[in-house]
Amino acid sequence: MIKLAPSILSADFGKLRETVEILNESPADVLHVDVMDGRFVPNISFGFPVLEVLARHSKKPLDVHLMIEEPEKFAERFIKSGASWLSFHLEACAHTHRLLEAVQGWGARPGLAINPQTGLDGMEYLVDCLGFVNVMTVNPGFGGQKFIQAMFHKIKALDELRKKTGSHFEIEIDGGVNMGNAVALKEAGADILVAGNALFSEPQLSEGVLKFKHLLV
Ligand code: DX5
Ligand code: ZN
C-alpha cells in the first residue's frame, strides 16, 4: 500500500510533542523531516536537537530530507540523531554513489532527492544503491506551495526506468501533494506521498490522515 509521510515542517512547533503523539496513533507511515541550511535553499528549518526530540517521541520511522550543501559532511550525524531514512540532493553532492552507499552502511535507508529541473540522466547507474527517489514537485524550501504539473511526466519516466532495470527503489513525491492529486500520483507510480499543508490545514490532524489514507486504498 502507498505510504503517507506527514511533513513536520507544517506543524505548530509549539506543539511538536503533541503532534508526534497524534501521528503515533494514526495510520501515517513515516514522519517527513525537512532540514534546510539557508544555502542550498532560501530558508532555514531545524537541525540535530529537534530531530533528537522527534526521534525520542516518535513510534514511526523518521524520513529526513536534507536540503543542505555538502550533505556528506552531516549525513552520519543525522542518522545518529534518529534518521531511519535519509535523502539528500543530487544537485548538492558530487559523489552521489559514494554517499548513497555510505548512508546504507550507517544503517539508514538511502534516498536521492531531485529538484524540479533535474532530469533522470545517470539515474540508471545508481539504481542498485537507491532505497528511494524523492521527486521534488515544488521548488524546495517552503511548505504550502503549488504542485508543478510537469512533474507527472518525470514520475512516469522514473517508474518506467524502475521497470526497465528491474529495480525496487520507491518513488516519493514531495511538495504540493493534496487530496485532489493523490490518486493520480499513485497511478503515475508513486509509493510514498509527503503531505504538509494538506494535512496540517485540516481541522483535526488525525482525521486528515485517516481521510488521506482512505483515498489511497
Ligand atoms: C519543501 C519540503 C516539503 C514540504 C512539503 O521544500 O521538502 O517536504 O514540507 O510541504 P507541502 O505538502 O505543504 O507542499
Ligand atoms: Zn521534504
Cβ(32) to ligand 1 under 6 A? yes
Active-site residue flag, 174: yes
Q: How far apart are CA 58 and CA 67, in angstroms?
A: 22
Active-site residue flag, 12: no
Expressed in angstroms and rounded, the spacing between residue 142 Cα and the centre of ligand 1 is 6
Residue of 29, 34, 63, 191 marked catalytic: 34
Nearest ligand to the CA atom of 64: 2
Give the pLDDT of residue 3: 98
Give the pLDDT of residue 87: 99
Q: How far is CA 62 from the centre of its chain?
A: 10
Give the pLDDT of residue 73: 98
Give the pLDDT of residue 125: 96
Give the pLDDT of residue 69: 98
Closest residue to atom 9 of ligand 1, CA basis:
143
Residues of the chain with pLDDT under 70: none
105-142 core/surface letters (b: 16 or more CB in 10 A; e: else): ebebbbbbbbbeebeeeebeebbebbbbbbbbbbebbb
Give the pLDDT of residue 84: 98
Expressed in angstroms and rounded, the spacing between residue 59 Cα and the centre of ligand 1 is 21
Give the pLDDT of residue 130: 98
DSSP bridge pairs for 5:
194
Q: How far apart are CA 52 and CA 31, in angstroms?
A: 13
Cβ(140) to ligand 1 under 6 A? yes
Cβ(111) to ligand 1 under 6 A? no
